[in-house]
Structure 1
Amino acid sequence: MPAPPPSGPSLSTFGPLGLGAANAGNLYTAMSDEDAAALFEAAWEGGVRHFDTAPHYGLGLSEERLGAFLRTKPREEFHLSTKVGRLLVPNEAFAGESDPFDQFDVPATRRRVVDYSSDGVRRSVEDSLDRMGLDRIDTVYVHDPEQHGAERTLPHLESALPAVCRLREEGVVAHAGVGTGSVAAARAAAAIGGIDLLMLAGRYTLLEQPAHPELLDECGSAGIGIVNTAQFNSGLLASPTPARDAHYEYAEVPEDKHRRAVRLAEVCAAHDTELPAAALQFGLQHPQVVAVVMGAATGDQVRQNVARMRASVPAQLWSDLREEGLIP
């Protein structure tokens, strides 16, 4: 199933930096509607015109808040993506409990139903449009096909990918893609074919590059653009000096990963560059990476990352990191 030319503007048209809206779904910590709006406004003021969300984020809260904000902006001026694979249905047994997926601090008034079927994909897109109150979505990603058991990854992809590609062919969306933190799942998606974009979480970062070279080469051959996310590896690269008590993959940092991060920071400092700036810009050094999507919990974090993306990073830094074997 070869991918047809994208039917909408290239993602690069909207700039190299996007904002992921998981935090607006009360990721780890609840925020008010006002704080969520301020987060999005800081991104808009910083020139960000690429926004990503998902039904999974806060049981739809992220989509609702992002939609409320984007309805105040000219539709042709931003790129919007969301995801499919988890339908949201009313939780008829709701008795005041919190979301059992404990990353999100929201009441469980809805529940997730795993559904990668053709009908489920179409319904998910329709539901997302209703929650956001918008007339269209630019990119739809098949979300986390690897997170429901290794034996189900390929069946989920084989079911959902043709469905999102049909939505593109019908003009419902402009781009079809897959969002995953698994190189194996990403390679399976590239092999099935048909997609325009791959949202890759944490697998091609300054700290580690398991996507290199096979996945990157396969995406190049198939004409698949990569949207790079989780550049800080859950926080380890988010500070100029990596803290021993930082997080890696949402857990405690292994000693070898911390040592590597410290060395990366030292090389960056020798070039008057902050580690987080190099981490944000690293992916864009590869021609297959068409955009970077950042996470942020506050307007100040957005403004800081916008400045980091604009910071000058000397070419010699990349050369020195490569010479030490820290990047390919």
Structure 2
Amino acid sequence: MSVALPRLGLGTAPIGNLFAEVSERDAAATVAAAAAEGMTYFDTAPRYGHGVAEDRLGRALASGAAPGAVISTKAGWLLRPGERVVTDWTERGLRESLESSLRRLRRPAVDVLFLHDPDDFREEIRRTGYPAARRIREEGLAGAIGFGMNHCEPLAAYVAEFEPDVVLIAGRFSLLDHDALTTLLPLCAKTGTTVVVGGVFNTGLLADPRPGAMFHYRETPPDVLARARRCRAVCAEFGVPLAAAAVRFPYLHPAVGSVVVGCRSADEVRANAAAARAEIPPELWHRLAAEGFVPPELLEA
């Protein structure tokens, strides 16, 4: 079944101290600002700060910051002392993971449960992982189930085999990376699987293409930095911030139901919400297509 999600959501990895420390106060303000901007979908995971992101999100939501919040979390990796994580795709392991998440989130259930980065665990997912996720859904502990991953090829294989309710693909459907369009997105359109797109800024490069910016969690190669700057220059010709084009780009594909953006402060939330509301002239999309930043087939409809 397809899943109806808010069009724009908050990715919570940054408030789990990804790349830099975030104070408790700033984390709470980030969640509150997201709710105020209508970003009522919150995506999280136990691995975001070894439980910190879930705990902070749960505390903020328990204070009434976002009535009617939609929450997705992830399972498949169990937290252990000393910042260790271990994989466990058994039913017992998935339930332990989800129960721990629900305690941190202060919730009886989540709206979406993603199996988290099972790239190299196809047999375990087939044998125990996905059947357990189905039972979790049937029991009402998760409203929908699917997979959250960074790589399109294994994710597409899971969609083809299981036809999940929803998937999250991070970093592979952006102005600089069209990998998801090859197989994953057409397949999801065929199966009716809702797609959530994360990583639209490719780890920050498309938010601010400066020397030292990261791309796919690594230092940006010079040619990729040059491409990002060229994309920014084209957007500027139309008076559109690069960040606005980056956030709006995934919606060009009909299988995409939601975009999640990671934020570490209330100011970042407000900036990204404004970017998502920006008007994008059709002429800009066509110009970006001519420059190779937008696949032309997305504009044919």
Query: Please, what TM-score do these two structures have when normalized by structure 1?
Result: 0.85
The equivalent position to 2:164 in structure 1, one of 195, 198, 223, is: 195
**C-alpha contact (below 8 Å) 1:157/1:189 kept by paired residues:** no
The structure 2 residue matched to 1:40, chosen from 12, 31, 46, is: 31
2:108 to 123, 132, 135: 135
Partner of residue 263, structure 2: 296
Q: Distance in 2 between matches of 1:260 and 1:316?
A: 20
Q: C-alpha deviations, 1:102-149, integer Å up to 9, x for none?
A: xxxxxx3x5322111222112211111112211211000011112xxx
Unaligned runs of 5+ in 1: 92-107, 147-151
Residue in 1 that maps onto 2:19:
28
- The one of 124, 127, 139 equivalent to 1:170 is 139
CA distance in 2, matches of 1:23, 1:325: 30
Letter in 2 for 1:168: R
Alignment of 1:315-326 (within 5 A): 315-326=282-293
CA distance in 1, matches of 2:281, 2:125: 40
Report the residue type matching 1:153 in the other structure: F
Distance, in Å, in 2 between the alignment partners of 1:302 and 1:194 is 33
What is the distance in 2 between the residues matched to 1:52 and 1:70?
A: 13
1:206-245 equivalences under 5 Å are 206-239=175-208, 242-245=209-212
The 1:261–1:119 alpha-carbon spacing in structure 2 relative to 1, beyond 3 Å, is: same
The answer to whether residue 78 in structure 2 is matched with residue 111 in structure 1 is no
Secondary structure of 2:89 counterpart: coil
* Stretch deviating more after TM superposition (182-191 or 75-84): 75-84
Q: In 2, are the aligned partners of 1:226 and 1:291 still within 8 Å (CA)?
A: yes
- Structure 2's unaligned 5+ residue stretches are 296-301
**TM-score, normalised to structure 2's length?**
0.93
Letter in 1 for 2:292: G
Deviation at 1:74, TM superposition (A): 8.2
CA distance in 2, matches of 1:213, 1:272: 31
Letter in 2 for 1:271: F
1:157–1:255 Cα change, 3 Å:
farther
1:65-76 equivalences in 2 (<5 Å): 65-73=56-64
What value does the CA root-mean-square deviation take over the aligned residues? 1.7
Task: Provide the aligned length of Structure 1 versus Structure 2.
Answer: 294
Of stretches 153-162 and 206-215 in structure 1, the one that deviates more from structure 2 is: 153-162
**Residues 14, 263 of structure 2: 8 Å contact kept:** yes
Map 1:56-71 to 2 at 5 A.
Answer: 56-71=47-62
Residue 153 of structure 1: aligned partner: 121
Point out 4+ residue stretches in structure 1 off by more than 6 angstroms. none
- Judge conservation of contact 2:134–2:145 (CA < 8 Å) in 1: yes
> Paired residue for 2:229?
262
Identical positions, percent? 39
